Amino acid sequence: MKKTLKFFSMAAIFLAVATLTGCEKENENEQPAATGVVKTSTTTICLDSDASKNLTGTGVKTFVAGEKIAVVYENTSDQNVKVEVTLVAGAITSDGKSAVITVDMTDPKNNGNVKFIYPAAMANDDGTVNYDALYEQDGTLETLSRDLDLSLYEGTLSGTDLPANPLLTNQLAICRFTLKSLPNYDALTGITGFYVCDGSHFYMVTPASATSEPLWVAMKPVNNQSITLRAINSTNRFEKVVTGKSLAAGNMYHLNLYMDTLPEGTLFGTFSVGATTTVRFSQGNLNEGGSFAAHQYDDGALIKEHEIPNKGPKWHIPTKENWEYLLGDNATRTGKRGTAKVCGKNGLVILPDDWVLPKGCTFNAVINFWDDNIYDAAAWAKMEAAGAVFLVAAGYADNSNTYEYGSAGHYWTESFYQDQYHYYYLQFYARTATNEGGIVYYNGYRFLRQSVRLFYY
pLDDT tens sequence across 228-286: 999 999 999 999 999 999 999 999 999 999 999 999 999 999 999 999 999 999 999 99
The predicted model gives 118-135 an average pLDDT of: 96
> Given this model, what pLDDT does residue 35 score?
56
End position of a domain, from candidates 170, 186, 203: 170
Q: How far is residue 204's CA from residue 359's CA, in Å, rounded to a whole number?
A: 9
Residue 24 inside a domain? The answer is yes
Assign residue 246 the CATH number of its domain.
2.60.40.1120
> Given this model, what pLDDT does residue 47 score?
82
Residue 266 inside a domain? The answer is no
Sign for the pseudo-dihedral over CA of 3, 4, 7, 8:
negative
> Given this model, what pLDDT does residue 19 score?
26
- Boundaries of domain holding 395: 271-456
Q: What percent of the chain has pLDDT over 70?
A: 88
What SS3 class is residue 350?
A: strand
Residues 277 and 417 in one domain: yes
> Given this model, what pLDDT does residue 49 score?
55
Helical H segments across 195-351, by residue range: 320-327
To which H or E segment does residue 245 belong?
strand 237-247
Q: How far is residue 163's CA from residue 159's CA, in Å, rounded to a whole number?
A: 9
Q: How far is residue 54's CA from residue 2's CA, in Å, rounded to a whole number?
A: 5
Residues 289 and 183 in one domain: no
- Top-confidence residue, 372 or 4: 372
pLDDT tens sequence across 24-80: 323 333 334 345 678 899 888 888 755 434 455 555 678 889 999 999 999 999 999
Residue 435 inside a domain? The answer is yes
Inform me whether the pLDDT recorded for 17 exceeds 70.
no
**What backbone phi and psi angles, to 5 degrees, belong to 307?**
-110, 10
Residue 335 inside a domain? The answer is yes
Position 22 confidence tier, pLDDT thresholds 50, 70, 90: very low
- Top-confidence residue, 35 or 304: 304
Query: Residue 290: left if φ>0, alpha if ψ -120 to 50, beta else—which one?
Result: left
The predicted model gives 114-123 an average pLDDT of: 96
Residue 119 inside a domain? The answer is yes
How many Å is the maximal CA-CA distance in the chain? 91
Residues 82 and 215 in one domain: no
End position of a domain, from candidates 261, 280, 305: 261
Assign residue 129 the CATH number of its domain.
2.60.40
Mean pLDDT of the chain: 88
Q: What percent of the chain has pLDDT over 90?
A: 77
**Measured between alpha carbons, how far is residue 453 from residues 202, 215, 373, 456 in Å?**
27, 34, 21, 10
Alpha carbons within 13 A on the beta-carbon side of 43: 23
Residues 319 and 414 in one domain: yes
Q: How far is residue 378's CA from residue 387's CA, in Å, rounded to a whole number?
A: 15
Residues 164 and 205 in one domain: no
> Given this model, what pLDDT does residue 57 score?
54
Residues 305 and 406 in one domain: yes
> Given this model, what pLDDT does residue 8 score?
33
Residues 139 and 279 in one domain: no
Residue 67 inside a domain? The answer is yes
Residues 164 and 82 in one domain: yes
Residues 162 and 205 in one domain: no
- Top-confidence residue, 69 or 14: 69
Residues 160 and 232 in one domain: no
End position of a domain, from candidates 209, 226, 261: 261
Residues 294 and 242 in one domain: no
Residues 214 and 306 in one domain: no
Residue 198 inside a domain? The answer is yes
pLDDT tens sequence across 374-429: 999 999 999 999 999 999 999 999 988 999 999 999 999 999 998 889 999 999 99
Residue 163 inside a domain? The answer is yes
The predicted model gives 339-368 an average pLDDT of: 97
pTM: 0.87
> Given this model, what pLDDT does residue 59 score?
55
Position 209 confidence tier, pLDDT thresholds 50, 70, 90: confident
Number of domains in the chain: 3
